[in-house]
Amino acid sequence: MQKAVEATMNPNPPNAFRPGDHAIQSGIQLKGVCKSYGDEWERQDVIVELTAEITPGELTVIVGPSGCGKSTLVNLIAGFEKPDRGEILLNGKPVTGPGRDRMVVFQETALIPWQTTYQNIVFGPNLRGDLKGAALHDEAVRLLRKVGLGEFMHKYPLQLSGGMQRRAELARALINQPELMIMDEPFRGLDAMSRGLMQEFFLKLFEENRRTNLFVTSEIDEAIFLADRLILLANRPSHVRAVIDVKLPRPRHYAMLSSPEAYAYKREAMAILHEEAMKSFKATATSQDFIDAFSRRTD
């Protein structure tokens, strides 16, 4: 929750907020980014020489093996942490800290539990004072209705379902008019039906305004359904293993995942991810470990 508050309070960028504006399309460049943790004598490299580009107006999806450093990359782009080496540029300018030009929707809800849904939505603009009174109220209500929560604006987060909380998170980010939306596995933990509905809902929002989006997931079907471009990460220490441009037409619907084109993208991505996952497996277990574990599973 602290990270969400930091990003909301930061006054950058200098652009004045204009309710209802179309999204400002911004791009991110990562050049030779490296990040390690631990003391010098036992330092662990998490990200090494990672170079990638997030194209303005596109939905870029990052996929990689579990534990490869996806959330670390999110923290670096959001400005919550700084790279040890390399640079991260937003529209050609270095990212030096959190800012409202980059808003993150996290894996776990960051809604303030003692505030109503409406109060959560207006929290950031109220702190900054860049949108006030009737203008703030009207924009908050417009967004709440847009995400289907108009009738729940006076409910508290614990009174909302998981999917409703995710939609409230989206509205709270959108009211700040970010140049880049960063989604860190936002639908993780939802049941299959709720997750599918949230994917379709999120995709509809994106296709309406074409706001630049970075979406992180471990689910390859979700990645292909959403993405204009897939960035596949290698096992830790992480770097870009491959980039796949997804040419499925928009607007998209779930039936497209059964098409030969979608299957070809999935087969290509799965081959790379399987290879990277096996590297992780070999580094942490022997074949006998696997046989013993499988035997216990089938007893």
Q: How far apart are CA 65 and CA 51, in angstroms?
A: 18
Give the pLDDT of residue 269. Answer: 94
Alpha-carbon distances of 115 from 8, 10, 32, 118, 122, rounded to whole Å: 16, 21, 41, 8, 10
Q: Is the pTM of this model over 0.85?
A: no
- Token code pair at residue 286: 């022997």
- Which domains are assigned to the chain? 2-18+26-298 (3.40.50.300)
Q: What is the pLDDT of residue 12?
A: 43
Q: What is the pLDDT of residues 45-65, one digit of tens each?
A: 999 999 999 999 999 999 988
Closest C-alpha among 25, 13, 20 to residue 181: 25
The pLDDT of residue 14:
36
pLDDT for residue 107: 80
Residue-level pLDDT at 17: 36
pLDDT of residue 23: 47
**Does residue 157 have a cis bond before it (omega within 30 degrees)?**
no
Cα–Cα distances (Å) from 31 to 38, 46, 75, 87, in that order, read: 23, 16, 16, 5
- 66 alpha-carbon distance from chain centroid: 15
pLDDT score recorded for residue 191: 85
Which residues of the chain have a pLDDT value below 50?
Answer: 2, 5-6, 8-9, 11-23, 287, 290, 298-299
Q: What is the pLDDT of residue 285?
A: 53
Token pair 């989006």: residue:
213
Closest CA to 218 of 201, 230, 202: 230
Amino acid identity at 162: G
pLDDT at residue 192 in the model: 86
pLDDT score, position 292: 57
Count other C-beta atoms under 10 Å from residue 206's C-beta: 23
Residues in the chain: 299
pLDDT of residue 61: 97
Q: How many CA atoms lie within 13 A of 215 on its CB side?
A: 28
**Cα dist. 18→21, 102, 232 in Å?**
6, 17, 36
